[in-house]
């Protein structure tokens, strides 16, 4: 494999769940060639979300974000692959859907920044922190995908 395999944390937010877009979003990551190694569907507690978004705590939208994210179920996932953090962020599009290009998840599927469907780790370090916050090590599945040789050189 040309690049180092890494993991990223991706969460489909309550708007994505309510709009029935979970399958479409999972499909895009699978079609890209990334491997799903953990997934859970849950109602996230405010405490978990406060920890998750701790770096935003001093921003004016923090309280509203935590409240919104705890308003309905989310689909939390860990994806694995070469450059999955950077590539995953490109697949998501810009935080503001109005700035997102067609072909991205946000560019194709949403309009408003406050309902931008999905969270994705922005660095390998934050991915590791987020994965450890949302998942226990025993909740991760490690396996060799039979399509690996058809995805990577």
DSSP letter string, 42-107:
E---HHHHHHHTGGGTTSTTHHHHHHHHTSS-EEEEEEEEETHHHHHHHHH--SSGGGPPTTSHHH
Which residues are annotated as part of the binding site? 13, 61, 89, 95, 106, 116
Look at residue 142 in the predicted model and tell me its pLDDT.
Answer: 85
pTM of the model: 0.93
- Rounded to an integer, what distance in angstroms lies between the CA atom of residue 61 and that of residue 68? 10
For the chain, give the number of residues. 153
* Binding-site residue set for ATP: 13, 61, 89, 95, 106, 116
Q: Which residues are catalytic?
A: 119
The tens digit of pLDDT for each residue in 106-149 reads: 999 999 999 999 999 999 999 999 999 999 999 999 888 888 88
Domain 7-140: CATH superfamily is Nucleoside diphosphate kinase-like domain (3.30.70.141)
At residue 3 the predicted structure's pLDDT band, cuts being 50, 70 and 90, is: low
């Amino acid at each position: 494999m040309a690049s180092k395999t890494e993991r990223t944390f991706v969460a489909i937010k309550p708007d994505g769940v309510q709009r029935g877009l979970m399958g479409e979003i999972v499909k895009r990551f699978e079609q890209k060639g990334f491997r799903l190694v953990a997934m859970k569907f849950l109602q996230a507690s405010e405490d978990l979300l406060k920890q998750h978004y701790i770096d935003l705590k001093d921003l004016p939208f923090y309280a509203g974000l935590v409240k919104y994210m705890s308003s309905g179920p989310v689909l939390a996932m860990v994806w694995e692959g070469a450059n999955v953090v950077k590539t995953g962020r490109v697949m998501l599009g810009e935080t503001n859907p109005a700035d997102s290009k067609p072909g991205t998840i946000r560019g194709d599927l949403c309009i408003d920044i406050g309902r931008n469907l999905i969270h994705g780790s922005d660095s390998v370090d934050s991915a590791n922190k987020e994965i450890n916050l949302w998942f226990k090590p025993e909740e991760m599945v490690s396996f060799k995908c039979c399509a690996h040789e058809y995805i990577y050189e």
